[in-house]
A and B are shown apart, each in its own frame.
Chain A
Amino acid sequence: MSVKLNIEGHLPLSHKLSPQLQFQGLPLLGRSLTASPLEDLWQLDNKRLPWGIRSLRKKARAFAETHLAPLAAELDLAEHLAPGEMHPKVKNVLELAGKEGWLSYFMPWPLGSLPYSVAVYPLIWSCTVVVEEFSRVCGGLMLLLSAHHLGCMPLILSGKRKMILGPLRNIYRDNLNGIPHLAAFAITEPQAGSDVEDGLGASLYRPGVVATPTAGGYLLNGRKTFISGGDLAQSLTVFAALDGEGMDSWTCFYVKTPTKGFKVARTELKMGMRASGAAELEFNDVFVPEHDVVGGLRQGWVLNRATLNSSRIPVASMGVGFAVAATEEAVQFARSFKLGGKPLIDYQEVQLQLASMLAETRAIRSLVWQEARHAWKPRQLNASVCKLQATDRAQVVCEMAMDLMADQGTLHEQRIEKIFRDLRLTRIFEGTNQINRLSVIDDWQAQLLNNNKQVGV
């Protein structure tokens, strides 16, 4: 079998006018300042990461390719299940993911599974590389495994020993023992999507879920909607206003399910991310003991915003993962599909498209990694910039792949149509990208209002 030496329009690497291999013939100084031979881009990026994060990234890819990728198409096409029902293969994935530590890696041993070699870096950084790898193979399974961490986040951010050594440790321990125990983050209400993600909106919003004091605790009443993973979660961090008060009284309650008065009313039929449920939750006099108030009364709004600041960079990395997947699909298609006896990659218009997709993808990964590696204390502005830019541009990359594949791209088997359906949600959840733009300004106010100083950008 003959090996193709060059892509049409380009010199073979062995040609004298192709510099790649000839860089090796330069004197030492020249060699040290030139790249040769050229490496695979994923491997190259691995080398740029610290050892611990690099290992985590490789482990995440191996898990994703071994356990998530084979199920992606099947779960996307599977029938919609009634609330509370779990596809057997989802259960299996949750067991495996739990045992391998993917549901407990926000804390190091002995509480969780985060390797100490990684714990010395910002948690958000670890999370972004994992989420990117999971998104690359299946948006739905990624969300199933990632929304769980969102549900756990208020417990961690509360900083309260009883929350961390109580509910959080139990959740993590169950998962590490192979007993699926998911957590879900419940903020959205039927009349409030963006209002629960934006301070000004919240100040004008009348809360829908209300906590009424009762002997030994609180009774929760109301409905939460579009709660990712809420259908399967056994632990919920539920945000509710105190009876008779406004959103500034928002308080986070830890609710263990099943419990009296709690019901998963329905699960949504979604465009994509179908391996993960979006549930409507009903609370009818659900009793929460006083000790399950997370972080104190009226601390809910702060915990909510801190959670979103932590989660929006990982959501940006979903965009990166989807852009990677779209680019890889397009590359594979261009290498294998032929027109006029030649693979598509031999045509210049296809090369231009692939190069643009790669540039877009690497640009958003650079942005996300740059912010993530410094996100010890994730800031709203930086997180929102990442989220809106990465997810907006990921859609552009996906559309470029669709244009490249044309009619063939309409088919489920080509994956690109599913990637589009999955990624489309990332521009909406965790605050629409419009709300995230406003969050940037919201958080930038201190500088913007100081007319005596030039604003740094």
Chain B
Amino acid sequence: MSISLDDAQAFLAEVASFSRDKVASKALHPEHPITPNDLTQLSIEALNLGLLPQTESEGFALWEHTESQGAMTFNIGFLQTLSEANTALAFAWHRQALAMTLLKASNSKINITNPLDISFLSTGHYGLGRMSFGRYLATEQEEQIASEDAAVLQDWLDPEQPSVLIAPAEWQSLVWPVWKNNSVRWQLVQREKLNVSVQRRQHGFDELAAFKVCGNKNNHRYLELSQPPKALAQQLLKQDIIGLLAIGAGSLKRVAQQTIEYTAIRKQGGHTIQSHPAVQQMLVEIQGALLQVENALQLCSRPLATIRLTDLLHYRMQLQPQLCHAASQAMQAHGGVGYMLDVGIEKGLREQNMLRMLAGGLLGIPLLLSALQESVV
């Protein structure tokens, strides 16, 4: 099965309708996060509509297909549109969908009633595995790796090292990467078998909660996946980067629109502030960041296999700081009002910061890229 561009547009119209009517209507007051109960209801509804993947049926849900232009247009547009309504929910569904694609690929049959039960980690406990992960990915032969790189990756993907998980409060199971026999493998782990410490709060994604999770890898089963581990690790990293960029674009679009509207009515110095060059500069920076990330996402609207990981890493490294800067400029254009929770601009800035820090952050990208240079992935 594949999704044509026409199909994608039709599905996206459904996502837009759902996001607008169901999600945005519950997110009218940024100072009051959508309740866990409402998140669950929305997620179940989305599952029933076929927007979220299930293991026991084939469909056109989020991340269920990546092999065509239409499928990728749908995945990217889905996350952008949903994030515009509520960014934390978009992040939760993105991670849930990645977990489900792995479970499906492993023929794991899990009867999902609440999609928020499952979450996903794409990286190890800190950063991106420095050059070691890049060299691992760049080496053609499976399980061939220098011992010093294996040591770093063994530690990076050691489940006994506490990892940060940002997920719905009630998550029950988690798919995470583990280092085994010199390759990246994936485990489905149950919450009750992990050491989970609930953190007091996180910077953004107010609808979700923060945890530190760790456990003994021998207590959990590995997913049996037919795809070669390196190819799969690359694929998931690519999906995660694209998803985070799409989520960031959606969040900024909401903030940008709000800023344009505010600057058109707010007066200072006898004129609306949009007529002041100081504000015009900021508006243009915001629009520029949005344009660049949308262009990058447009380039990603083609079969996932044809998108180079190196390109995506460049996009993330260059664009995520711009998204943060743009959200910060939106706050600056609002002045003191933008600092208040009930306006929603500060929430957008915190969301961009979360996207900057999560999934290993940005600092390790140059090292990963450098190691990948020998073999363009």
Binding site for B on A (CB under 8 A): 73, 77, 188, 191-195, 198, 200-201, 204-205, 225-226, 268-272, 278, 337-341, 344, 347, 349-350, 353, 395, 399, 402-413, 417, 420-421, 424-425, 427-429, 432-435, 437-438
Contact = CB atoms under 8 A, between A and B. Distances in A.
Interface string B265-284: 00111100000001100100
B164 A193 contact: no
A298 to B, nearest CB: 21
B332 A433 contact: yes
Contact of A427 (B200, B268, B332, B364): B332
Closest 3 CB pairs of A and B: A406-B361, A204-B270, A417-B203
Contacts of B289: none
A404 B126 CA distance: 10
B164 A411 contact: yes
Category for how many chain B residues contact A: 35 or more
B270 A340 contact: no
Given A407-B359, A411-B203, 6 more contacts: A77-B200, A226-B336, A395-B328, A404-B363, A407-B357, A432-B332
Interface of B: 31, 123, 125-127, 130, 132, 151-152, 155-156, 163-164, 166, 199-204, 210, 212, 267-270, 278-279, 282, 321, 324, 328, 331-332, 335-342, 346, 349-350, 353-354, 356-364, 366-367
Contact of A340 (B156, B210, B353): B156
Contacts of A405: 357, 361
A269 B340 contact: yes
Contact of A410 (B202, B335, B346): B202
Contacts of B341: 268-271
Nearest to B211: A411
Contacts of A406: 126-127, 357-358, 360-364
A337 B336 contact: no
A188 B336 contact: yes
A73 B164 CA distance: 19
Given A194-B335, A340-B151, A402-B356, A410 B166 contact: yes
Contact of A347 (B130, B269, B331, B350): B130
B357 A412 contact: no
B203 A194 contact: no
Contacts of B126: 337, 339, 344, 406-408
Given A340-B152, A407-B163, A409-B357, A428 B199 contact: no
A252 B185 CA distance: 69
Contact of A198 (B127, B269, B357, B367): B269
A270 B360 contact: no
